[in-house]
Chains A and B, each alone.
Chain A
Amino acid sequence: MRTGLGSQLAALIGLLVLWEVGVRVFGVAPHNMPTASAVFRDMAGNMDLIGRGVVRTLSETIIGFVIGATIGFVFGSAFAVSRTLERLLFPLFIVSQAIPVIAFGALVVMWLGNDIWSKVAIAAYLTAFPVTVNTCRGMQAVDPQRVALLRSFGAGPWALFWRLRVPYALPSIAAALKLGISLGLIGAIVGEWFGDTVGLGIMLLQAMYNENLPRMWALILVCGAIGILLYAAFEAIERRWIWWKQEI
């Protein structure tokens, strides 16, 4: 990991150099592809603006993620424990995911108002589904012999849930959380497209209308960096705390 970091950084710098040189050598028009240096100049000159966008979009992502993950955990657990509930509600979850979020994004904005909460709702919506599925499947995979053992110790449903089902499902829940945080970021950015004044998503739209290519690329890079950092954070948490595998 530590040695990999150096070479990864070198590869990144190499890519940027290639970008800079490539655009200059082949004489690509600036409205098609700006140089890397132009992009970074724009970024450096607008730190304030971009910074405010980052704070806003990141807040939407994280609040939405926390709400979505909680909803996913609660429903996933309920589905794992109750077959009836699973049969009743799980199909609804799947149908709801089949409708692209864009299709009712405008509706969400009309209901919740054109502020942070409509974006939070969209981020939460996208996070909830994978967390629900993996929580449910992870808990259903619990080894029945271990359930029997804990019952022989006198464990009731509550002890079985917290001491066995939850830790047993954690590796699969962690995988869903990594997916969920990436989806949450997408939800936040897309949510801003339905109208707002702050945030990376709306800044992207503005850059598009103004044909401000350097700004657009600056925002793309920032969005990418946020996505990678969030994913890496969860990867680190997983390695440190949830290292066991579901054994049969």
Chain B
Amino acid sequence: MDGPADSAAPPMLQLTNLSKTFDSGHGRLVALERIGIEIGCGEFVTVVGPSGCGKSTLFNILAGLAEPDTGAKILYNGEPRMAPELLGKVAFMPQRDLLLPWRRVVDNAILPLQVEGIPRAEALKRAQPLFVEFGLSGFERHYPQQLSGGMRQRVALMRTFLFERDLTLLDEPFGALDALTRSLMQRWLLDIWQRHQRTILFITHDVDEAIFLGDRVLVMTARPGRIKLVLDVPLARPRPPEMLTSPEFIALKRQVLAAIEEESIKSFQQVAEG
């Protein structure tokens, strides 16, 4: 994290000294403290941390929905940005699918395009080729209520991918799925990512998922949320499912778990003392 990467291309996203403090009735809560992150173009970066570590606050700031404390610097594509300027610049997928029940699958998927002002016919043309890839062909005219959880999540992902932005934020997109569906979706997401060449920042609390998906894993601490560990994942791609039990994978997992463990004990003690 110290010093910029010495590659020629500037990082797609560079955060320095990013903090976020909430003032509540009984005192201040430091959700994020001096976060520094650099994400290169086309990178898949995962963020893992205990619940309440401010991951979602970080995403809200990057999506332009919340403002960081003064002193934070956000460079997006090399240009300094205030948080509200990021509205409409970043493709953001929250934890819940948040599909609109009155819109068919296809109309849910093209919602961000319509919001941008693209006519429906044109938006549909762009969406058409993606249905097969997202495992939704034949379901274009269904309503969200008629779909399984996994399919709804794929509609939400398709909506996010159709909103073509340089940076894609995914907040625990597979958190609510069963283990089997989840591992299928992980491999499928890697596939999509490699074909579409997107830059992804992905939140999870599943260590396996973080290592399996990421080029880099950021481990966060809870209250205040800080970046405790930045771990490069040198595993080759494409990554087969067997990789989850390989010695290299286990070694990486041990490092991540050790960092998280230390944090959990610390926060446990804080609670006990408080």
Contacts and interface: CB of A to CB of B under 8 A. Distances in A.
A145 B96 contact: yes
A152 B90 CA distance: 7
Nearest to A155: B115
A167 B115 CA distance: 15
Contacts of B116: 153-154
Contact of B115 (A148, A150, A170, A247): A150
Interface in B106-135: 111-112, 114-116
B64 A164 contact: no
A155 B112 CA distance: 8
A247 B163 contact: no
Contacts, number: 53
B115 A159 contact: yes
A149 B112 CA distance: 9
Interface in B53-109: 60, 63-65, 87-90, 92, 94, 96, 98, 100-102
Interface in A103-147: 143, 145-146
Nearest to B117: A159
A154 B143 CA distance: 24
A169 to B, nearest CB: 11
Interface residues of B, number: 23
Chain A CB within 10 A, most for which of B63, B87, B98, B100: B100
Interface residues of A, number: 19
B171 to A, nearest CB: 11
Nearest to A170: B102
Contacts of A163: 111, 114-115
Interface string B123-152: 000000000000000000001010000000
A52 interface: no
A71 B63 CA distance: 37
B64 A152 contact: yes
A150 B114 CA distance: 11
B100 A153 contact: no
Contacts of A167: 100, 102
Contacts of A24: none
Contacts of B96: 145
Chain B CB within 10 A, most for which of A148, A153, A155, A244: A153
B88 A152 contact: yes
A41 interface: no
Contacts of B90: 152
B101 A149 contact: no
Given A145-B98, A146-B100, A152 B92 contact: yes
Contacts of A247: 101
Contact of A153 (B88, B102, B143, B145): B88
A152 B116 CA distance: 11
B115 A149 contact: no
B88 A154 contact: yes
Given A152-B87, A154-B112, 5 more contacts: A145-B98, A150-B115, A152-B88, A163-B111, A163-B115
23 contacts: A145-B94, A145-B96, A145-B98, A146-B100, A148-B60, A149-B98, A150-B111, A150-B115, A152-B88, A152-B90, A154-B87, A154-B88, A154-B89, A154-B112, A154-B115, A155-B115, A159-B115, A163-B111, A167-B100, A170-B102, A244-B101, A244-B145, A245-B101
Interface of B: 60, 63-65, 87-90, 92, 94, 96, 98, 100-102, 111-112, 114-116, 143, 145, 163
Interface of A: 143, 145-146, 148-155, 159, 163-164, 167, 170, 244-245, 247
